[in-house]
């Protein structure tokens, strides 16, 4: 390292103050920008769709037709015919005041038990307020035996927005609380927990400001979902890195009287593993840039920014705060120079010795456990209907269910077709003849194109309705584009399936490349990669059983397997990186077999703490009302725990011990005790 760079590092007395001062200045300058992240969040109709999908193209074209940005709300009355008709007529003047335009007459179902009123809402800036006003109007003085619900596209959008509006605050509060509690339990110190929390706070400011600048000036896609998950990543991963660095720093304080020298060595010995971990996660998340689904691309790229910022904070401001705090910050367990380290590794050493006694039986048993859990994937259903996307049904979902009971299910949410003017009449005839279509009518004509409304017989998010969309696309002229909510769901499902085929191999290639570079071996990294895939399948299988038999979910959402795979593989490989980087270091000193046991004993406590913290931060997704987010959190949490407690503790060490020095082929560790010609004897405690 150049001399000038050493003087700017937290391992130098003057550099410590320079680093801390730079971060404080950075936080002051970037703080206002961090608060603007919401301004660049994209929550339009295409934010969660495949970029080039037909339904996304329709949404862009509809901007020409909706010059006033009108979006309908649908009021659904159910009960005795005369009563609901009278109430609907009485409500129309109030609806017109909310809309600003005349509201059309009520439409009665064939069975006479339901009435709907369509209210066009023109002011997109007041859409949420308008839905609230409509719901307040309909809840006032409801006659006995009558139910009134507000649904339709406008209410559906606002119910979804309400979920994401609370996402940031709910996740930040829950994540912060979980991290602080776990740090207190881990360190049992009234002071030490403050250091990683302050460091994560610096990282959060840098993350939000950087994300805002990239979104505003470089086209980085940001939506409410990716912005909410961003802080969970920064908290969880940043705390993980802090735990690893603090543990190594504590070790060095026992061997060095000068705390700056101790920090220099702690950074030298831990940063390569932390850098490899951060690089793996960043590159793995960047693989989502090749996804078709806009929401997946946003989550990957935004998450990569967060991980990079967390890494920078944890290797700069965290060491500076630790050095400035002195040894007393560890009170009451102060690491004193010359004292034997309080390792607390007896249990982990015992586990390592037990694995070393019968390594083949250990890894076969681990595979049996993970393989059994992976069987839960068999028969897994994919795809949630709109009504199944919320843990508690909002009013828009209830309204759609009432409509489906008494009207053609697609009446309140028809498919939208955009065709050239010359093809409009032929398109109406072709659409009307498609099985599953109730009616097709031509609407406005703007800019040489005509808009068609096609009412489907089946519920908009049902498999039958999606089949009808395929029928429409086959039957209509080649220049016709089919959109609407049903087409959007169909396009999303197909894009997700394509993204799995493209992104998963890319992530695996990235991970194995980082492992090969860090461990300077080939065989071992390939085995480590296989263990992470096994861990993911086990987590997915176990989660599927929980979703079906405990939480009562109808299926797993389409996005969850891909996002779960990327997060779990990229994050889960961290613990193998931290373990095997230490094992290689110890193998050069003690020989391969003893190096595996010593490496496991030396990292067992800190990696377990890090895994529990990361699993707990993702577990906070369970408090969110969106089933998709909850499922993602469960899969990642279970996977991280499996990686921490089984894969890293038993499976990986057992494989390394069973293979012997061949694990490091073609470049075994070098050192006085790493001579592959010397016999290795592992003493069992």
Letter string b/e over residues 615-627, b meaning 16 or more CB atoms within 10 A of that residue's CB: bbbbbbbeebbbb
Averaged pLDDT of the chain: 85
- The answer to whether residues 236 and 270 belong to one domain is yes
- The answer to whether residues 96 and 107 belong to one domain is yes
Q: For residues 62 and 361, what is the distance between their CA atoms, to the nearest angstrom? A: 63
Q: Which of 342, 359, 376 is the last residue of a domain?
A: 342
Q: Region 22-32: what's the mean pLDDT?
A: 92
Cβ(487)–Cβ(497) below 8 Å: no
| Phi/psi of residue 372, nearest 5 degrees | -65, -40
- The answer to whether residues 498 and 608 belong to one domain is yes
- The answer to whether residues 377 and 506 belong to one domain is yes
| Higher-scoring residue by pLDDT: 43, 513 | 513
Q: Which of 163, 183, 206 is the last residue of a domain?
A: 163
pLDDT of residue 344: 46
- pLDDT-based confidence at 683, cuts 50/70/90? very low
From the list 206, 173, 203, the residue with the least C-alpha distance to 318 is 203
- pLDDT-based confidence at 685, cuts 50/70/90? very low
- pLDDT-based confidence at 684, cuts 50/70/90? very low
From the list 338, 405, 390, the residue with the least C-alpha distance to 163 is 390
pLDDT of residue 678: 42
Q: For residues 540 and 522, what is the distance between their CA atoms, to the nearest angstrom? A: 28
Tell me which residue has tokens 């300077």: 520
pLDDT in tens, 77-135: 999 989 999 999 999 999 999 988 888 899 998 888 999 999 988 877 788 889 999 99
Give pTM, 2 decimals.
0.83
Residue 556 lies in a domain: yes
- The answer to whether residues 46 and 83 belong to one domain is no
Partners of residue 415 on adjacent β-strands: 454
pLDDT of residue 236: 86
Query: Cα 321 vs. chain centroid, distance in angstroms?
Result: 30
How many structural domains are present in the chain?
4
Residue 292 lies in a domain: yes
pLDDT in tens, 175-209: 788 888 888 888 888 888 899 999 999 999 999 99
Look at 242-251, 306-315, 675-684 and tell me which has the smallest mean pLDDT.
675-684
Q: Region 546-552: what's the mean pLDDT?
A: 89
- The answer to whether residues 531 and 473 belong to one domain is no
- The answer to whether residues 186 and 331 belong to one domain is yes
- The answer to whether residues 538 and 578 belong to one domain is yes
- The answer to whether residues 114 and 223 belong to one domain is no
Does the structure show a pLDDT above 60 at 343?
A: no
Q: For residues 115 and 107, what is the distance between their CA atoms, to the nearest angstrom? A: 5
Look at 394-398, 469-473, 546-550 and tell me which has the smallest mean pLDDT.
394-398
Residue 636 lies in a domain: yes
pLDDT of residue 676: 45
Tell me which residue has tokens 């619900």: 149
From the list 504, 627, 613, the residue with the least C-alpha distance to 565 is 504
- The answer to whether residues 410 and 554 belong to one domain is no
pLDDT of residue 631: 92
Residue 159 lies in a domain: yes
- The answer to whether residues 137 and 254 belong to one domain is no
pLDDT in tens, 218-233: 988 888 888 888 888 8
Largest CA distance in the chain: 95
pLDDT in tens, 463-481: 898 999 999 999 998 889 9
Would you tell me how many other CB atoms lie within 10 Å of the CB of residue 328? 10
Tell me the CATH number at 617. 1.20.1640.10
Q: Which of 312, 327, 342 is the last residue of a domain?
A: 342
- pLDDT-based confidence at 682, cuts 50/70/90? very low
pLDDT of residue 154: 86
From the list 529, 530, 564, 550, the residue with the least C-alpha distance to 636 is 564
Residue 65 lies in a domain: no
Cβ(654)–Cβ(357) below 8 Å: no
Tell me which residue has tokens 């725990």: 641
Q: For residues 596 and 657, what is the distance between their CA atoms, to the nearest angstrom? A: 7
Q: For residues 343 and 332, what is the distance between their CA atoms, to the nearest angstrom? A: 15
pLDDT in tens, 623-669: 777 888 899 999 999 999 998 889 989 999 999 999 989 988 888 87
Domain holding 221, by residue range, is 1-51+166-342
- The answer to whether residues 26 and 115 belong to one domain is no
Structure tokens at 443: 């609407």
pLDDT in tens, 285-310: 999 999 998 888 999 999 999 999 99
């Amino acid at each position: 390292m150049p001399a000038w760079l050493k003087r700017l590092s937290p391992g130098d007395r003057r550099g410590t103050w320079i680093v801390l001062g730079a971060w404080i200045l950075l936080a002051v300058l970037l703080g206002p920008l961090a608060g603007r992240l919401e301004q660049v969040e994209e929550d339009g109709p295409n934010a969660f769709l495949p970029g080039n999908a037909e339904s996304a193209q329709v949404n862009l074209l509809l901007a020409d037709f909706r010059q006033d940005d009108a979006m309908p709300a649908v009021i659904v009355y159910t009960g005795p015919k005369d009563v609901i008709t009278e109430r609907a007529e009485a409500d129309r003047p109030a609806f017109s005041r909310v809309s600003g335009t005349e509201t059309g007459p009520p439409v009665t179902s064939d069975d006479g038990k339901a009435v709907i009123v369509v209210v066009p809402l023109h002011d997109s800036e007041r859409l949420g307020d308008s839905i609230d006003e409509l719901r307040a109007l309909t809840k006032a003085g409801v006659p006995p035996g009558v139910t009134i619900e507000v649904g339709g596209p406008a209410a559906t959008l606002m119910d979804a927005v309400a979920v994401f509006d609370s996402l940031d605050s709910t996740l930040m509060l829950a994540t912060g609380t979980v991290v602080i509690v776990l740090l207190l339990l881990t360190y049992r110190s009234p002071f030490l927990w403050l250091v990683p929390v302050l460091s994560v706070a610096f990282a959060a400011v840098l993350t939000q400001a950087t994300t805002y600048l990239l979104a505003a000036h470089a086209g980085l896609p940001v939506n409410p979902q990716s912005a909410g998950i961003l802080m969970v990543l920064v908290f969880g991963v940043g705390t993980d890195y802090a735990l690893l660095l603090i543990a190594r720093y504590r070790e060095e304080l026992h061997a060095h009287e000068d705390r700056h020298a101790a920090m220099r060595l702690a950074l030298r010995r831990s940063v390569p593993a932390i850098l490899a971990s951060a690089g793996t996660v960043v590159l793995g998340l960047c693989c989502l840039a090749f996804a078709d689904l806009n929401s997946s691309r946003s989550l990957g790229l935004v998450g990569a920014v967060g991980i990079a910022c967390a890494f920078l904070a944890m290797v700069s401001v965290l060491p500076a705060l630790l050095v400035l705090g002195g040894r007393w910050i560890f009170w009451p367990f102060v690491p004193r120079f010359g004292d034997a380290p309080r390792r607390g590794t007896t249990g982990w050493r015992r586990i390592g010795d037990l694995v070393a006694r019968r390594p083949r039986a250990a890894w076969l048993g681990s595979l049996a456990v993970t393989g059994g859990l992976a069987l839960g994937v068999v028969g897994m259903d994919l795809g949630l209907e709109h009504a199944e996307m919320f843990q508690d049904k909002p009013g828009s979902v209830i309204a759609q269910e009432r409509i489906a009971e008494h009207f053609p299910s697609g009446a309140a949410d028809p498919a939208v077709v955009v065709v050239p003017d010359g093809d409009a009449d032929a398109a109406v005839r072709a659409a009307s003849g498609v099985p599953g279509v109730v009616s097709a009518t031509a609407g406005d004509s703007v800019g040489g194109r005509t808009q068609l409304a096609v009412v489907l017989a089946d519920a908009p998010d049902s498999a039958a309705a999606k089949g009808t969309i395929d029928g429409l696309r086959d039957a209509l002229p080649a220049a016709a584009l089919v959109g609407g909510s049903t087409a959007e769901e169909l396009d999303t499902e197909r894009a997700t399936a394509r993204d799995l085929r493209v992104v998963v191999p890319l992530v695996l290639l990235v991970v194995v490349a980082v492992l090969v570079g860090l461990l300077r071996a080939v065989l071992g990294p390939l085995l480590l990669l296989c263990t992470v895939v096994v861990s993911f399948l086990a987590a997915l299988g176990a989660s599927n059983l929980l979703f079906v038999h405990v939480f009562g979910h109808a299926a797993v959402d389409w996005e969850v397997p891909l996002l779960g795979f990327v997060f779990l593989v990229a994050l889960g490989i961290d613990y193998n990186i931290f373990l095997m980087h230490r094992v290689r270091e110890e193998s050069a000193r003690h020989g391969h077999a003893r190096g595996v046991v010593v490496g496991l004993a030396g990292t067992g406590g800190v990696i377990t703490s890090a895994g529990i913290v990361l699993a707990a931060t993702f577990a906070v997704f369970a408090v969110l009302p969106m089933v998709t987010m909850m499922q993602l959190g469960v899969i990642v949490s279970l996977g991280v725990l499996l990686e921490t407690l089984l894969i890293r503790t038993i499976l990986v060490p057992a494989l390394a011990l069973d293979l012997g020095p061949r694990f490091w082929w073609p470049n075994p560790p070098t050192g006085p005790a790493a001579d592959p010609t010397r016999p290795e004897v592992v003493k069992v405690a």
